[in-house]
């Protein structure tokens, strides 16, 4: 079976860093900062779409500047982004059981490659798709691309994520979906997309029967 994982808020506890870097970028550009909840609500979207959602009244050139400032802040900020407890064991066990693993993320390819190197878990994943390579969530295109590349049908695949964008994307692709309640969006928000279950811990995935 094909297990497709979101990254931020699902595999990696990077939410605090994302919020801080968006606020730093806003301060550098001299625009009004958004709240923690407002920023968490857009995590998972491609960066241009996230910036446009947070600052729809900014001119496109200002949105581009804000995105560049965010990217620069993210590279230089030292806020830790550890893997959630149980991630390494769970990924390893799923691979040993014969499953194929992939990543579908709102990160850029450059950003995902950087965290792959830092986290040292990239060897578990057979492929990945990033938001600058394809359509942003909740468009299901990145899921269709992964399934085609890896040779799986929708009924043989499951998406695991912490946001409604992840679960809506999976629903749009006709595949099973699992939420996690330790990321960006609340359990009640995730429940609107009829997930198979909502995990309280990452390694709880090992108890789920596909």
CA-to-CA separations, 45 to 69, 158, 196, 210, in angstroms, rounded? 17, 19, 22, 27
Strand 2-5 relative to strand 198-199: parallel, antiparallel, unpaired?
unpaired
Among 160, 169, 163, residue whose Cα is nearest residue 189: 163
Q: pLDDT for 144-171, tens place per residue?
A: 999 999 999 999 999 999 999 999 999 9
> Given this structure, which CATH class describes domain 2-13+83-207?
alpha beta
CATH number of 15-76: 1.10.150
Mean pLDDT of all residues in 63-88 = 95
User: Mean pLDDT over all residues of the chain?
Assistant: 96
Gyration radius of the chain over CA positions: 16
Domains of the chain, by residue range, sit at 2-13+83-207, 15-76
pTM: 0.94
User: Cis omega before residue 138 (within 30°)?
Assistant: yes
């Amino acid at each position: 079976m094909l297990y497709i994982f979101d990254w931020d808020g699902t595999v990696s506890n990077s939410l605090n860093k994302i919020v801080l870097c968006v606020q730093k970028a806003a301060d550098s550009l001299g625009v009004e900062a958004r709240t923690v909840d407002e920023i968490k609500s857009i995590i998972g979207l491609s960066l241009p779409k996230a910036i446009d959602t947070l600052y729809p009244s900014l001119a496109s050139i200002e949105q581009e500047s804000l995105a560049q400032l965010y990217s620069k802040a993210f590279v230089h900020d030292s806020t830790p982004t550890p893997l959630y407890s149980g991630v390494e064991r769970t990924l390893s066990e799923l691979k040993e059981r014969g499953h194929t693993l992939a990543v579908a993320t709102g990160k850029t390819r450059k950003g995902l490659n950087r965290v792959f190197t830092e986290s040292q878990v990239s060897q578990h994943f057979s492929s990945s798709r990033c938001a600058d390579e394809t359509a942003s969530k909740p468009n299901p295109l990145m899921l269709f691309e992964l399934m085609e590349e890896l040779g799986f049908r929708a009924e043989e695949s499951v998406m695991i994520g912490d946001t409604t964008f992840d679960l809506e994307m999976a629903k749009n692709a006709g595949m099973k979906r699992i939420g996690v309640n330790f990321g960006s969006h609340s359990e009640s928000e995730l429940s609107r997309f009829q997930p198979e279950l909502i995990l309280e811990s990452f390694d709880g995935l090992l108890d789920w029967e596909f």
